[in-house]
């Protein structure tokens, strides 16, 4: 008996591709949620440091919170979560007889 006919007999089973979680690791950021382009990360952290220095020297009013610079480094594919819905089960974590 093949896997499809076993599912038809047994009913729903856990998705073997995502192991029942309904999520797959984002391949764009390898699950970190942040972009891996070092140049962009470096420029955003340098921009943040320069902004903090201007605030300390009273040259500028504070614009960003301390963690705001990281938001610009978030992965655009997974929106910073590090995971995407499983394309095999549609994010449910289960495979049914019809699938």
Say if residue 84 is in the same domain as residue 99: yes
Number of domains in the chain: 2
* pLDDT for position 67: 58
**Range of the structural domain that residue 98 is part of:** 1-33+80-99
Say if residue 43 is in the same domain as residue 56: yes
Residues in the chain with pLDDT values less than 70: 1-11, 36-44, 62-72, 97-99
* pLDDT for position 21: 92
Say if residue 27 is in the same domain as residue 48: no
Say if residue 44 is in the same domain as residue 65: yes
* pLDDT for position 99: 44
In DSSP terms, 25 is beta-bridged to 83
Cβ-proximal residues to 15 (8 Å cutoff; 6+ apart), any chain: 22, 86, 88, 89, 92, 93, 94, 95
Say if residue 29 is in the same domain as residue 44: no
Say if residue 68 is in the same domain as residue 84: no
């Amino acid at each position: 008996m093949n896997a499809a006919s076993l599912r038809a007999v047994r009913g729903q089973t856990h998705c073997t591709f995502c192991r029942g979680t309904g999520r797959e690791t984002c391949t764009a950021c390898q699950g970190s949620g942040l972009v891996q382009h070092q140049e962009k990360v470096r420029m955003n952290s340098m921009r943040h440091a320069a902004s903090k220095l201007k605030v300390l020297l009273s040259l500028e009013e504070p614009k960003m919170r301390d963690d705001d610079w990281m938001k610009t480094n978030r992965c655009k594919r997974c929106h910073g979560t590090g995971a995407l819905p499983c394309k095999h089960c549609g994010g449910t974590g289960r495979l049914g007889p019809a699938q």
